[in-house]
Each structure stands twice: as structure tokens, then as C-alpha cells.
Amino acid sequence: MDFNHLLHIVGEEPVFETSLLLAGAVNPRQVQRQLSRWVRSGRLYRLRRGLYALAPPYQKVKPHPFLVANRLVRPSYVSLQSALATYGLIPEYVPHVTSVTPRRPGLKQTPLGQYEFRHLQPSLFFGYRQEDVGEGQQAFIATPEKALLDLLYLHPGGDESAYLRELRLQNLEQLSEAELQRLAAQFGRPKMTRAVARIIALKHAEAEAYESL
């Protein structure tokens, strides 16, 4: 396989796995050696074992960080600070993509950026959806309510008023109180019931502040 052949196969893919190149009568070892050569020459990025992306100027589609996160660890979905920032629920810029997974936690450094994965037990792996992230790419992202509850669940003292103030939550009108309460019940922890009660109180206080302007 030469590089032009590779471009023909994967040119429209933001990221690709080695398995995509192994159809037909090909030698897997030879394919792997060639991929390693292209990584060393700067034509490809190796994101993890078996997962690659074309490097500029060969990229036709720039990989979205959320798509990359989904593909780095399966199953996973983008949540916590990254999802909250995307929804405008927190003001801070998030320097790396944060996700949750029922697999082992970890921090992964790639040529396309840094990705953090927090462990969430399998029974709590819900509350996400597939979203369009641009240029024909889609990624699994927590709903606004689940992203917030994931963060509060994983943070010690996440149900305390001091921590909620520290987050500087904003635009709370987009949160559904019924959905927050439903999700808190699925967590099955008193901590989450307390957290939701305080979030709803903050939401009402924010609404009253806007009405008084």
C-alpha cells in the first residue's frame, strides 16, 4: 500500500482504525509497518494503538475533539466540564476534553490534544445522546442535566453549596427540573437528591434576579 492508496481509503474519515485497511488480501504486519513509517514521517498521527488521523496538509476533515474522545475509549461519552462549557452552563474554558467511561480512568495525551476519562460505574452509564458536532461528525455527549450530575457525583462534596458556587453556574433556565429529579433518582444516592434541590434553588434565584432587572 502506498500513501495515495491510503488517502483514497481514509481521506474523508476524521479518524480511522487499522481494521479499515485490512480488507482483502493484505498482510497485516506490512500494513502496520507502513503506518509506523508514515507516523515517523509526520504524515499520520497515532492517537492510540490501532487508531490514527491524517496530519495536515493531508487532512480533508479536521477531527472534532469530542469525536476523538469517543473513539479513544469505547464506550465513553463527553461529560463533566467539557459538556457543561459546550452548553454554556459554566463560563470557564476547558483546556482538555473530559469524558466518563465504565472502563478504567486515565489521562491520554495525543497529537490532537489531551483527553481525560473518569470512571463511572456501568449502572450510571446513561443520560447521553449523539450530537452533530460539525463537518458531518457526530459524538456522544451527556445531556445538560446529566453532565452536571456526573460532575457533582464524582466530586467529593459535590452536593455542597460552596462547591456549586465555585462552579459559577449560569444559564440554568435550560435545565429541566423534572429531568434533574428523574436522573437523581436513578443515581439512587441521597447526595444527588440534595444536589438537585440546591441546583433548583439556584435556578429559581437566577430567574428572580433576571426578573428584577
- Residues in CB range of 118: below 8 A, 6 or more apart: 80, 98, 99, 100, 101, 105, 150, 154
Give domain status of residue 176, yes or no: yes
50 with 96, same domain: the answer is: no
Match 456501568 to its residue by C-alpha cell.
Answer: 122
Give domain status of residue 150, yes or no: yes
Match 513509517 to its residue by C-alpha cell.
Answer: 37
Q: How many CA atoms lie within 13 A of 175 on its CB side?
A: 31
86 with 48, same domain: the answer is: no
Number of domains in the chain: 2
For residue 137, pLDDT beyond 90: yes
Q: State the pLDDT at residue 26.
A: 80
41 with 142, same domain: the answer is: no
25 with 116, same domain: the answer is: no
pLDDT, one tens digit per residue, over 29-48 is: 999 999 999 999 999 999 99
Helices (H), 13-157: 28-40, 65-72, 80-86, 144-154
pLDDT, one tens digit per residue, over 65-87 is: 999 999 999 999 999 999 999 99
- What is the span of the domain harbouring residue 79? 65-211
Q: State the pLDDT at residue 55.
A: 97
196 with 96, same domain: the answer is: yes
HEC sequence for 115-139: EEEEECCHHHCCCEEEEEEECCEEE
Give domain status of residue 59, yes or no: no
76 with 132, same domain: the answer is: yes
CA angle, residues 140, 142, 145, in degrees to nearest 5: 160
pTM here is 0.95
> With contact defined as beta carbons under 8 Å apart, do 155 and 163 qualify?
yes
For residue 212, pLDDT beyond 80: no
